[in-house]
Amino acid sequence: MTRGSGGLVSTLLPVMETVNGTWIASAMSSEDVEVAKTFKNNCVPIPEDKPLFRVPFVIVDRDRYEKYYSVISNPLLWFVQHYMWNPAYTPEIDDKIHDAWDDGYKYVNRKFAEKIVKESDFNEKKPLIILQDYHLYLCPKFIREKLGDIFLSQFIHIPWPQPEYFCIIPDYMEEAIIKGLLSNDIVGFHIEKYVKNFLRTCEKYADYVDLESNIVKYEERTIYVRNYPISVDDQGLLKLSHSKEVSKKEEIIRKIKGDNFLLYRTDRADLSKNIIRGFKAYELFLEKHPEYIGKIKFLSTGKPTRQQIKEYRDYKDDIDQTIEKINKKYSTDNWKPIEQIFKADYSLVAAAFKNYDCLMVNPICDGMNIVSKEGSVINENNGILILSEHAGSYEELKDYSLNVNPFDVTQTAEAIYQAVSMKSKEREDRLNGLKKIVKERNIYNWVAEQFDDIEKLFR
């Protein structure tokens, strides 16, 4: 068993270890299924020898799981919530998608609800059920139907788009999603913008929506829509970054860096991450400032993601071709403009965080973007942050980052030039500013704020 590659796992792990909770998860791979089946009730203790929390797995057949995960959750919902469809051509909502909704998404949400209801029975006191993310929009309604007056909250880790874009999906799906989410007592998002977009999407279905106090009235209940910007475990990250493992990986990074200015990025190869425009901006920078040829390197690490979906396979190919083209155009005998390490493990990423001169985070759309916070905490090189205005973390970090419109390749190239020519005093001030912000609100604050609200509103 290995941990997933997304930002969500990184941020929730330390929380789960602290509260000794029950994490109900779905078995993603056939390996997950095999491991889960060796435990009673498919409930895996983690870590196995000295359990800090337990993971009862929801197991459904592969066919339905694929419909749930690789047709509806991704791409349909993920693409809609990240403004990522190409509307003249996609999505093409056909019988396959309608079927995947019923027989996949709805089915798995129901299975999750059943498992949660079952696990809830085991406890003596009223359980606190906290759902995570866009895979479980229908779950709260199914749970409330069974458990009635129970506390339910759900946190959405991805953006919520404006209602005109969300209604790309069929009406009946939109209605089920909104009514599902409104079965919670609290719905959480990273930033205020998503809260407002969600509230406006609710207007069609709710009895009353208050855009001032962010409250929805629906079926005689009050739903509180709140923003809790997720953060990182800054102390844990610092500890890790000073571990032997990371020190060892720093040798690899230093070898790549040499005397160069190290521009760095790390992402799942997701279309929302805007990896190609990042490289094109770098290419334009080299074209406009040839004096930096041989003096800068762009290191890119990442993990493959969602390769069962065509758009992702194509995107991965397009990234590789872009890198190849730029390397071919600018490489010299002893210098290569872009180095790519795919399938990098986290200690290598941490080593790169520690040593970059500039971190590029330029998503077209990103719920929060944890990388921008992790990098700022770990970096020891007065590293500059180039940050997209469309990353959730922009709201918190914008005063200390170099900000770009992610669609604007010219502006992004200029930001790289600004970074390479920035005086060390300004670099230091900016990094210190970033560090201060992230430390002031870490992952434990994110959790505490949510529990505080639960306490205040419902106990």
Check residue 89 and report its DSSP letter: T
Taking the least distance from each CB to its own copies, the nearer of 235 and 405 is: 405
Q: Which stretch binds its own copies (CB under 8 A): 215-223, 375-383, 405-413, 447-455?
A: 405-413
Range 252-291, binding its own copies (CB under 8 A) = 271-272, 274, 276-277, 280, 284
Q: Least CB distance from residue 166 to its own copies, whole Å?
A: 10
Q: Tell me: does residue 91 bind its own copies (CB under 8 A).
A: yes
Q: Tell me: does residue 408 bind its own copies (CB under 8 A).
A: yes
**Contact indicator for 391, 376 with CB cutoff of 8 Å:** no
Which of 39, 205, 292, 407 forms a contact with its own copies (CB under 8 A)?
A: 407
CA gap 281, 287 in Å, rounded: 10
**Contact indicator for 113, 146 with CB cutoff of 8 Å:** yes
Q: Which stretch binds its own copies (CB under 8 A): 54-62, 89-97, 226-234, 297-305?
A: 89-97
Q: Tell me: does residue 14 bind its own copies (CB under 8 A).
A: no
Q: Least CB distance from residue 143 to its own copies, whole Å?
A: 29
Task: Estimate to the nearest angstrom the gap between the alpha carbon of 125 and the chain centroid.
Answer: 33
CA gap 109, 229 in Å, rounded: 26
Pairing, β 25-26 against β 186-189: unpaired
Q: Least CB distance from residue 413 to its own copies, whole Å?
A: 9
CA gap 372, 8 in Å, rounded: 14
Taking the least distance from each CB to its own copies, the nearer of 5 and 405 is: 405
Q: Which stretch binds its own copies (CB under 8 A): 17-25, 117-125, 167-175, 394-402?
A: 167-175
Q: Least CB distance from residue 164 to its own copies, whole Å?
A: 5
- Tell me which residue of 280, 408, 422 sits closest to 357, measured CA to CA: 422
Binding mask 45-84 for its own copies (x = CB under 8 A): --------------------------------------xx
Six-digit token pair at 322?
A: 């872009």
The total of other beta-carbon atoms located within 10 Å of residue 32's CB is 19
Q: Which residues contact 48 (CB under 8 A, 6 or more apart)?
A: none
Packed helices 275-288 and 310-330: angle between N→C axes, nearest 10 degrees: 10
* Residue ranges binding its own copies (CB under 8 A): 83-89, 91-95, 97-98, 161-165, 167-171, 193, 197, 271-272, 274, 276-277, 280, 284, 311, 315, 318, 364-365, 389, 405, 407-411
